[in-house]
Amino acid sequence: MNKKMNKIKILLGVVIFGSIWGLLECVLGSYLPGRVMTGVVALGLMTATRFIYNQKGMQAGMGLIAAALLAVNPLGGCVICSVIAIVVEGAVFELVWFIFSPDIEKAESMSIKVCAGIVTAYACYTLAYVMGQVVTPLFFSNAKLQFGSLAVFIPTILSKGLVAGLIGGVVFPAAASVKQIGVSFLRSKRYYSMGSIASAACWIVVIILYR
């Protein structure tokens, strides 16, 4: 499947699902806690696309597209924090899959899928949180970065990560199960037209609603 798939198809996939991710972050990000967004939206989309396209690096690309969409949304609070978090989530997902990829991709047992979901969501949430805290002060002159302050809060980050991990344990097997539906969409003649329209719609909605 992967060898036969042309690069344009994959690139369009990055744009479609990155745009959907960005739209969901803009619309739901203000209402749902970060751990739920990571466990459901980020992990769900990244896992589903990984199983459908089976393309390394695609999820990091989706993170960049989602981050770009968030950057045009001025009402979403700290744009730079959200952008950092999404880019890190994409990168951490790639890292976990780089280490365990053949085992996760070929995982047929539910226990492996659940564990993969827990590990991926937990790592994505906690590392994105820490990176956000470390990098954000660099963009604001009145804010100070103190590693001591961050260290005090580590138990809370690890505790919140548990929620993301448990959600991930449920979402991952569910997202993996959409593989067949996704692959038939990929093979459909309407993939290019539907995909382009969906991506454009995400951007238009964010620009109209939030700009």
Partner 1 sequence: MKQGKGEAKVKKRLLILLAVILIIIGVGSTLYITLFKGAEKTEVLLVGETEFSLNELFGTSDLITVGEYQGVSLVEVINKAGIENPEAQEYTIIAEDGYQKTVEWESIKEGIFTSEKRVILPDLPKQYWLKNTTRIEIREK
Summarize as ranges the residues that interact with partner 1 (CB under 8 A): 77-78, 80-81, 99-104, 111-112, 114-116, 118-119, 122, 132-133, 136, 140-144, 146, 149, 152-156, 158-159, 161-163, 165-166, 169
- CA–CA gap between residue 166 and residue 62 (Å, rounded): 23
Which whole-number Å values give the CA distances from 87 to 18, 38, 63, 127, in the listed order? 11, 12, 5, 11
Contact assessment for residue 58 and residue 14, using Cβ atoms and an 8 Å cutoff: yes
State the minimum distance, in angstroms, from the CB of residue 135 to partner 1: 11
Query: CB 119: neighbour CB atoms within 10 A?
Result: 18
What is the closest distance, in whole angstroms, from the C-beta atom of residue 190 to partner 1 in the complex? Answer: 34
Contact (CB, 8 A) for 132 and 88: yes
- Angle formed by the axes of helices 43-53 and 79-105, nearest 10°: 40
Using the minimum distance from each CB to partner 1, give the nearer residue, 148 or 208: 148
Residue 153 CB, shortest distance to partner 1, in Å, is: 5
The residue among 145 and 209 lying less far from partner 1, judged by its C-beta, is 145
The Cα–Cα gap between 162 and 167 comes to: 9
Between 130 and 198, CB nearer to partner 1: 130
For residues 23 and 163, which CB has a smaller minimum distance to partner 1 in the complex? 163
* 110/194 with CB nearer partner 1: 110
Q: How far is the CB of 141 from partner 1 (least distance, A)?
A: 8
